[in-house]
Amino acid sequence: MKHTGKITISLLLVLLLLVSAAFVRSGDLFFQIKKQLTIFSDVYKEVATQYVDDIGPEELMKRSVNAMLEGLDPYTEFIDEGEQQQIEILSSGTYGGIGIEAGYRGDHIVIIAPMEGYPGHRAGLRAGDIIEEVNGTSVRGMSPEEVQRLTVGDAGTSVSLKIRRPGIDESITFDLERERIEVKNINYASRVGENEEFGYIQLARFGQQTAEEVRMELLEMKDAGNFEGLVLDLRNNPGGLLNEAVKLIDKFVEPGVTIVETRGRLDDHNSTMATSEPAIFEDLPLIVLINYGSASASEIVAGAFQDLDRAVIIGENSFGKGLVQTIRPLSYNTSLKITIARYYIPSGRSIQSIDYSGYDSSLDQAVPDSLRQAFETKNGRVVFDGQGIEPDITVQDYGSSLIDLALQRNNSYFFFISDFIASESPSEGSELPENIFDRFANYLIEENFTFETPVDRHLEEIDRNIENFGQESSAQENLDELKALLKDYKISQIHDNRETIERNLHTEWISQIMGERERHGAMLKIDESVLRAIEILGDSHEYQIVLRP
């Protein structure tokens, strides 16, 4: 008994020491906070009152706060009183804008997802486009939220975006008119396949009731009979509510399976979210489509399905945003959006593409392959962290070129198809005429269509020099010959980009000749990723080979 009492006393002493140590560490932290705040307050007061130039206290404080947050990840930002209202507008689901979602890629602000059917998407903006200016103002040093707020305004007003597209050296300006943006959870749902044996659901975001809306669509498809698989389209879905993402997975995975963990510095920020309801479609073959515009909650859904070998993932690499933010209210109607944790999906991997610890914003520091960690899915397939979600089957989007960008910016596709329909009066739902490309090429030549290249600027510079220095006529003749060759080159680009141009003509034809529902269905029939998904769903052997190699 005495021996037991000594052990008990010893354990109590150890426990007391641990508690005391924790208290000391906590007390030391609060002392350091108080000390540093006092120093900061003294410096702030001296600069505000004694500095040679007059600096407003509000401006000085904002500079100080922004400098403090600059060394952290770029998603942590201070939101002042004037920005609160715009945030509420953006989160309400209805506002005037151009329909884009902005985010970080290294030191750049990029378009994560252009919303289908809205001005940005129609003009040809794409996921991954780097935003350089909004209305002539450089976005360098701004956060994605600040850039996005610049694009918001009254419907009918204009906004100008200057972007740079990877693979194209030239910056391009898009002049757009704002429209009323109404964000829906489900953009489109229908049956697809030769015998309409598969379902297709395109999710625009994970908002309130997303999972329930998907469940209702699935039950309708099931009740209609002959329901053999589903294509879940998460392309250009920037994310949303994490709990809705988990509830959606619930419909396809048995209860009790961990879907996502959040791990932060504080215990309050650590959590585990698992499936909890009976899966009503546990055995339904499933394909998930992703691209660079799939971010956050979309990546968790695609990544969880991949880790659990529950779905085949098709498309392109996702965006790679695996950081958790919360908004903390501060004094005087300001707030702080702060990163508090990271997401981890079932295999244990993170979807975050960039490690911001010790990050140098002058470099675009995606995680190098040598530092990426390997993980295993439920069936033993090897997957990696550090690059978002990599698809099981890659289907690349169509490339871009200067001529295609110019055609979209000038609305050439729209005007040509509109004029063609007005003159030919085709019936609703008519097929695209076979000779449409040749007619379009002739139309461009007749309209003296051109687009700017780097060579144009060099030739203009030479032209000015000839005029300024009074060069002999032979130099001018040579220059004119070069200009004629450049014109021929531009015409040749029409034919060199025939495949892309024909696809865009087809898309524009469908948009103008069909009603909304028919238009969506027709678009799916020329969508490479959807066609590949249907092909895999129709071949159970190939479907299983991907998930069980």
Question: For 337-391, how does the pLDDT look when each residue is reduced to its tens digit (9 = 90+)?
Answer: 899 999 999 999 999 987 666 555 444 455 566 678 999 999 999 999 988 999 9
Q: Which pLDDT does position 48 carry in this prediction?
A: 87
Residue 518 — pLDDT band, cuts 50, 70, 90?
Answer: confident
The token duo for 324 is: 């958790």
Across residues 267-276, what is the average pLDDT? 93
Q: Which pLDDT does position 398 carry in this prediction?
A: 67
| Residue 355 known to be catalytic | no
Q: Which pLDDT does position 5 carry in this prediction?
A: 54
Could you read off the pLDDT of 397-443 as tens digits, one per residue? 766 788 888 888 787 888 888 888 878 888 766 788 889 999 999 99
What is the Cα–Cα distance from 178 to 161, expressed in whole angstroms?
Answer: 12
CATH 3.30.56.10 fits domain 186-326+338-397: no
- Sort strands 312-315 and 286-290 into parallel, antiparallel or unpaired: parallel
Please provide residue 259's backbone torsions phi and psi, each rounded to the nearest 5 degrees: -105, -45
Q: Which among 333, 336, 314 has a CA at the least distance from the CA of 325? A: 336
Strand segments (E) across 345-492: 374-376, 382-384, 393-394
**Answer CATH for 94-182 from 3.20.20.10, 2.30.42.10, 3.40.50.2000, 3.40.720.10:** 2.30.42.10
Across residues 298-322, what is the average pLDDT? 96
| Residue 307 known to be catalytic | yes
Catalytic residue, chosen from 143, 294, 296, 529, is: 296
Question: Of the ranges 303-317, 389-403, 528-542, which one carries the lowest mean pLDDT score?
Answer: 389-403
Could you read off the pLDDT of 77-120 as tens digits, one per residue? 888 876 665 565 555 556 788 988 887 766 788 888 788 788 99
What is the Cα–Cα distance from 253 to 290, expressed in whole angstroms?
Answer: 20
The token duo for 194 is: 């030769």
| Residue 169 known to be catalytic | no
Catalytic residue, chosen from 307, 392, 404, 527, is: 307
CB-count burial class (<10 Å; 0-12, 13-18, 19+) for 103: buried
Catalytic residue, chosen from 247, 321, 350, 392, is: 321
